[in-house]
Structure 1
Amino acid sequence: MTGLTADTRVLRSRHWSLRISRRAAVVCGILSGLLLVLLVAALMIGEYVVTPAALVQTLLGDPPARLDGFFVLGRRLPRALVAIVVGASLAVAGAVFQTLTRNPLASPDVIGISSGASVGAVAVFLVWGGSLDQAAIGAVVGALVIAAVIVLLTARSGLHGVQLILTGVALSAIAMAVVDYVLTQVFVASATTAQTWLVGSLQGRGWSDLVPAVIALALITPLLIRMAPDARMMALGDSVSTALGVRTVRARWMLLAAATVLVAIAVATAGPISFVALVAPHIARRLAGTPSFLAAALVGALLLLAGDLVAQYAFPAPIPVGAVTITIGGAFFLWLLWREGARRG
């Protein structure tokens, strides 16, 4: 996994080196093109159709009509960009968890990180009467607390194996029980708002929601680029990675913290959207032929943006995007469980 192949090229300088897979680079280029096409479609289609010429003029700052500027710049562009950033964040976090644990079933929503973020956000919003913007702080705290508990409970066995999945499922069940209890103790209107958020929705998301998600992703990305070689070696096992010079404990904590922050910000922005973090890294690995954070991010962005378009226009009335990702991800999860069972059997 760490060796060079005919498909691999290495760029070096005096202070750094970068390994590039030609197949992964081609796949990332194609995924970027598809994402751009999907973004253009998201800006044009809807009850009010924007023509290609009007779209170009609007993006250049000279909309031919007020409605063009309102729909493209005021509603569709920020919502689409939120979908891209949140999908990328969840996918990268899922790739990190699956690499660290060496478990294909590990993802933030399966092992309870997303549920912890949900508890924190709901506590701020419903118990302490904060706004949805303030709930972002609660989501970060909740996700970090659950991550710390998982680390403590799996300290002896390490962040891998069946124990991790079972621990995460148990913590997730407890967290959602807390959420359900809180929902029964508040006003119906507040509970309805929180319940819609808990499914995962991009409805009404605007520029103010995009800013913190972009900042978090921009701050975490350099760390992930720097830690990517260590992550690839850690996927071979602690003893092998340690022999190759990786400071595994330090690297594990840094990657875990980075992934947890990405999940927390994504959940605070759009709610606990399920299964993107589980599905996207698997699809990216199959396409690129190697683990790639960039490929995972692009697949996650594509999945969530496409899912949001389906949620908006494929049904008589718009539905939360989380309902779409749950349906797709649930089927993928069952297939993954069947494949793992067949492999071990």
Structure 2
Amino acid sequence: MTNHIDHIALIEKGQKKRKKRYRIVEAVLLVLAVILCGLMMTVGNTFYSLKTVVQVLAGKDMEHGVFAILTLRLPRMMAGIITGFSFGLAGSVFQTMLRNPLANPNIIGITSASSAGAVFCIVILHAGGSVVFGGSILAAAVTAILIYFLSKLKKYSTGRLILVGIGFQALMNSAVSYFLLIGNANDIAGAIRWMSGSLNGVQMPSVYLLLLVTVVCVPFILYYSKALKILELGEESAITMGVHTNQARGILLVASVILVAVATATTGPIAFVSFLSGPIAKRMTGYGNSSPVIAGGFGAVLVLAADMIGQQAFAIRFPVGVITGLLGAPYLIYLLIRMNRHGEF
């Protein structure tokens, strides 16, 4: 009896420790995000004090800084937060649900499909703005539906979904290469700028739509977060524990794909954010206490920090996607080596 009580006390102590660590990580990410937002709003070609920024945001009639702060920096900062959060959250959902750290929207073809749709609109239709935005979202949605239903032939299989997704990724990348091959120089330049993943030129109407989609989709993911953790145990275990697997998986996939599609349509495919956020969030909170929200928070911080580095740290200004790509590639190599050592291939 005494040993049983001791075990319960030990478990409760571990739970309190994990919760404390989780709250600390939340607080650190929030502080970092606030600091980076302040830097993005104040630092640039012209430095504006925080007082000036607050006054402009409050609607006071200022002689200087109104255009730069409201038209250039505010949309850029908000897009960085929301897209980073969306990519990180969605990536964590894919990796947890499919039980594979490589299974993120980039790898299984969703982001590639969004890119193919946008490049098609830019290069073939010679369109821009809302047409590119809509084409990007439509291509991602159609591809996600095809991947999901092809993976359910006879019986759902996580491995089949990943393999089908990788196939679609190759197909979409080939389509992008073909469109760039037959396009004219002006359209190709615009398509390449879009594909690099950048916060340049983001406007508030796109940010408002992105915010609306995030507000609608995130609650669904949070509601099914417990089911998501159970799905990580496997299909049979989840069914045994009373999870409606098809319903949970379908809603999680739909919400995550919408987040990724709209975020990609807004800024272009920002490399490796959805891939990096989940595993690093698990390391920060402890492997048994991970959360899609922490992954989303890390994604937001990563995008804001990468954009600051790309804009301020070099003589040439680099898009945020270039910096996240430089950060993500070494981590991918490390993860592949670690998985190989543990026999996960």
**How many Å apart are 1:204 and its aligned residue?**
1.1
- 1:164–1:276 distance in 2 versus 1, CA, 3 Å: same
2:301 — aligned with what? 302
Offset from partner CA, 1:22-77 (integer Å, 9 cap, x none): 322221122111100110011111120112332332333326532x2222222111
* Aligned partners of 1:125 and 1:132 also within 8 Å: no
1:15 — aligned with what? none
TM-score normalised by length of structure 2: 0.90
> Structure 2: where are the runs of 5+ without partners?
1-10
* Aligned partners of 1:35 and 1:302 also within 8 Å: yes
What pairs with 1:218-297 in structure 2 (closer than 5 Å)?
218-289=215-286, 290-297=289-296
Partner Cα distance (1:186, 1:234) in 2: 44
* Aligned partners of 1:151 and 1:159 also within 8 Å: no
1:43 — aligned with what? 41
Question: 1:104 is matched with which residue: 101, 115, 137?
Answer: 101
What pairs with 1:1-345 in structure 2 (closer than 5 Å)?
5-6=12-13, 8=15, 21-62=19-60, 64-66=62-64, 68-155=65-152, 158-161=156-159, 163-289=160-286, 290-344=289-343
Offset from partner CA, 1:205-249 (integer Å, 9 cap, x none): 121221111111010011111111111111111111111111001
Number of matched pairs: 330
Partner Cα distance (1:115, 1:277) in 2: 13
* Aligned partners of 2:126 and 2:187 also within 8 Å: no
**How many Å apart are 1:5 and its aligned residue?**
4.6
* Aligned partners of 1:24 and 1:292 also within 8 Å: no
Partner Cα distance (1:157, 1:103) in 2: 19
**How many Å apart are 1:93 and its aligned residue?**
0.8
User: SS in structure 2 opposite 1:48?
Assistant: coil
Q: Which has the higher helix share?
A: 2
- 1:157–1:26 distance in 2 versus 1, CA, 3 Å: farther
* Aligned partners of 2:148 and 2:161 also within 8 Å: no
- 1:5–1:239 distance in 2 versus 1, CA, 3 Å: farther
Offset from partner CA, 1:167-187 (integer Å, 9 cap, x none): 333321211111111122222
Offset from partner CA, 1:144-182 (integer Å, 9 cap, x none): 222223223433574534x54443333212111111111
Letter in 1 for 2:297: L
TM-score normalised by length of structure 1: 0.90
Letter in 1 for 2:135: G
User: SS in structure 1 opposite 2:215?
Assistant: helix
User: SS in structure 1 opposite 2:342?
Assistant: helix
* Aligned partners of 1:28 and 1:294 also within 8 Å: no
**How many Å apart are 1:7 and its aligned residue?**
5.2
User: SS in structure 2 opposite 1:344?
Assistant: coil
Residue range with higher mean Cα deviation, 299-308 or 172-181? 172-181
Partner Cα distance (1:311, 1:158) in 2: 42
- 1:329–1:243 distance in 2 versus 1, CA, 3 Å: same
> Structure 1: where are the runs of 5+ without partners?
10-19
**How many Å apart are 1:122 and its aligned residue?**
2.1
Partner Cα distance (2:56, 2:146) in 1: 49
Letter in 1 for 2:186: A
Partner Cα distance (1:92, 1:224) in 2: 9
Letter in 2 for 1:200: G
1:16 — aligned with what? none
* Aligned partners of 1:96 and 1:259 also within 8 Å: yes
**How many Å apart are 1:199 and its aligned residue?**
1.3
**How many Å apart are 1:142 and its aligned residue?**
1.2
* Aligned partners of 1:116 and 1:175 also within 8 Å: yes
User: SS in structure 2 opposite 1:32?
Assistant: helix
Partner Cα distance (2:316, 2:157) in 1: 42
Partner Cα distance (1:27, 1:107) in 2: 23
**How many Å apart are 1:8 and its aligned residue?**
4.3
**How many Å apart are 1:307 and its aligned residue?**
0.7
Partner Cα distance (2:241, 2:151) in 1: 24
* Aligned partners of 2:97 and 2:229 also within 8 Å: no
* Aligned partners of 2:230 and 2:237 also within 8 Å: yes
Partner Cα distance (2:179, 2:307) in 1: 28
* Aligned partners of 2:210 and 2:262 also within 8 Å: yes
User: SS in structure 2 opposite 1:80?
Assistant: helix
**How many Å apart are 1:261 and its aligned residue?**
0.6
**How many Å apart are 1:133 and its aligned residue?**
1.7
